[in-house]
């Protein structure tokens, strides 16, 4: 049985290496496109620009630039979206839906809390996969590897 499990694990590793890496930010990029389209539609139809829409549009455009350039910082848009949702929590409960009963406002606020925490967790969860996708190696890892190589004895060193 142990041999069978080792064989399955080995085949899984071979399969994992053969599957090409996909950009884990493709789904957030699709969300970004719909968010930008919605913001532009809202501005065009209402002829009013709210400060929240401007901030969200600026973050979306920054993500678009980072995403297209495959910047190591592109994953940070997900925690930024989550932080913006968490910042809006008190406003959602206090002033968001005046005509609705308190229960409805409370459910909407809890949903906004889940969305905010979810985006933050999602951003930090895909960070390493995204860095592997773009081939990014953190500078601290490079300096740590360089310091370890400096400690390695060399073949041409003659201390005599």
Q: What is the pLDDT of residue 3?
A: 85
Q: Which residue has the higher pLDDT, 74 or 155?
A: 74
Give pLDDT tens digits for 45-66.
Answer: 887 777 777 888 888 888 889 9
Q: What is the pLDDT of residue 160?
A: 47
Buried b / exposed e over 104-115, threshold 16 CB at 10 Å, is ebeeebeebeee
Largest Cα span, the chain? 88
Q: What is the pLDDT of residue 111?
A: 92
Average pLDDT taken over every residue of the chain? 81
Q: What is the pLDDT of residue 59?
A: 84
- Which has the closest alpha carbon to 38: 53, 25, 50, 55? 53
Give pLDDT tens digits for 96-132.
Answer: 566 788 888 888 889 999 999 999 999 999 998 888 8
- Which has the closest alpha carbon to 87: 62, 113, 61? 113
Q: What is the pLDDT of residue 99?
A: 78
The token duo for 42 is 């809202």
| Nearest-angstrom CA–CA distance, 50 and 93 | 19
- Which has the closest alpha carbon to 84: 63, 106, 99? 63
User: How far are the Cα atoms of 45, 69, 80 from residue 123, in angstroms, in the given order?
Assistant: 32, 18, 9
The token duo for 48 is 């009013």
């Amino acid at each position: 049985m142990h041999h069978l499990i080792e064989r399955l694990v080995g085949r899984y590793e071979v399969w994992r290496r053969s599957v090409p890496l996909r950009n884990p930010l493709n789904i957030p990029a699709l969300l970004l496109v719909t968010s930008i389209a919605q913001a532009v539609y809202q501005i065009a139809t209402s002829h009013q620009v709210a400060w929240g829409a401007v901030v969200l549009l600026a973050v979306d455009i920054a993500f678009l630039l980072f995403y297209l350039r495959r910047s190591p910082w592109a994953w940070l848009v997900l925690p930024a979206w989550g932080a913006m949702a968490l910042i809006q929590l008190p406003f959602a409960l206090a002033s968001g839906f005046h005509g609705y009963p308190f229960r409805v406002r409370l459910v909407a606020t809890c949903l906004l809390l889940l969305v905010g925490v979810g985006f933050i967790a999602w951003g930090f969860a895909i960070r390493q996969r995204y860095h592997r996708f773009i081939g990014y190696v953190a500078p601290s890892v490079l300096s740590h590897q360089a310091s370890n190589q400096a400690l390695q004895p060399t073949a041409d060193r003659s201390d005599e």
